[in-house]
Amino acid sequence: MTRGTITLLQLYPRDMNIYGDWGNTLVLKRRLEWHGYGVNLVAYNPGDEFPKEVDLIVGGGGQDSGQSKIGDDLLGIGDRLKTLADQGVPMLMICGLYQQFGHYFKTKDGEEIKGIGLLDIVTVGGHERLIGNIVTENDKFGSIVGYENHSGLTTLGANATPLGTVMRGAGNNNQDRTEGARYNNVIGTYLHGSLLPKNPAIADWLIEQAVIRKYGEFHPAVIDDHFASLARDTAARRPR
Ligand code: GLN
């Protein structure tokens, strides 16, 4: 007997799913099950019908070409996603989709890929690729450990709050030590790795928001995160 069922939607798994981002979906699914919930996993690719009910949304990174390919379709579901974000639906967007949740991504080849403007950020492709392990700090989640690989440089507007402060690595733009952005229960970040296996506190926070929104209360199970801790420590110590 489960305590309920959470619909987990993955955006564009065909084109936007690199450097292990699929691991985020697997972690959310498995931890939801450990916390006692059934999971209805739904994939959304260009041209699909957007599901009527959705409790938690994830999206991954992509090459500039993949971003361009899904760009128009994403604009088509932008209002829907913005409404869901305003209603408190938790979302996790990594790298490429993080950029496209902002106002625009101008690639280094001069193409402007319009974003949905859910996050108050803009991104411009740089000439250097920012690659390597990264550690940031966040008041709620503590250290966030991941791996970045992007050339886009992101600047936050007044309505976006950074997710973390960069302790090691480049982050949003290699200048102001911000990393990622938050709006309501939406998290955008450059961190692959994948992010959630090494940062279970973020996974459980996303799950908590989804469950409370749907069922009014959340009673987490005790999960042994011993291996996640080892993975975090090892990744945090690795050279870039
Ligand atoms: N193509 C984008 C960039 O290079 C996003 C990369 C990614 O998703 N890893 O900035």
CATH number of the structural domain spanning residue 122: 3.40.50.880
Rounded distance from Cα 60 to ligand 1 centre (Å): 10
Count up the domains in the chain and report the number.
Answer: 1
Q: Which domain holds residue 130?
A: 5-237
Angle 207-117-26 from CA coordinates, rounded to 5°:
30
For 133, phi and psi rounded to 5 degrees?
-70, 150
Query: In the structure, which protein residues have their CB atom closer than 6 angstroms to any atom of ligand 1?
Result: 18, 61-64, 67, 95-96, 149-152
Residues 6+ apart with CB under 8 A from 184: 85, 86, 88
Query: What CA–CA distance (Å, rounded) separates 57 from 13?
Result: 12
Identify whether 95 is a catalytic site residue: yes
Query: What CA–CA distance (Å, rounded) separates 202 from 70?
Result: 27
Which atom of ligand 1 lies nearest, measured to the CA of 63?
1
pLDDT at 209: 98
pLDDT at 239: 81
By alpha-carbon position, which residue is closest to atom 8 of ligand 1?
Answer: 61
% of the chain surpassing 70 pLDDT? 100
Q: At what angle do helices 22-34 and 200-215 cross, to 10 degrees?
A: 60
Whether residue 193 is predicted with pLDDT greater than 90 in this model: the reply is: no
Identify whether 192 is a catalytic site residue: yes
Could you report the per-residue pLDDT of 24-79, keeping only the tens digit for each?
999 999 999 999 999 999 999 999 999 999 999 999 999 999 999 999 999 999 99
Angle 119-200-167 from CA coordinates, rounded to 5°:
65
**Residue 234: other Cβ atoms inside 10 A:** 12
Q: Which of 35, 95, 103, 150 is catalytic?
A: 95
Could you report the per-residue pLDDT of 1-24, keeping only the tens digit for each?
789 999 999 999 999 999 899 999
Mean predicted confidence (pLDDT) in 108-136: 96
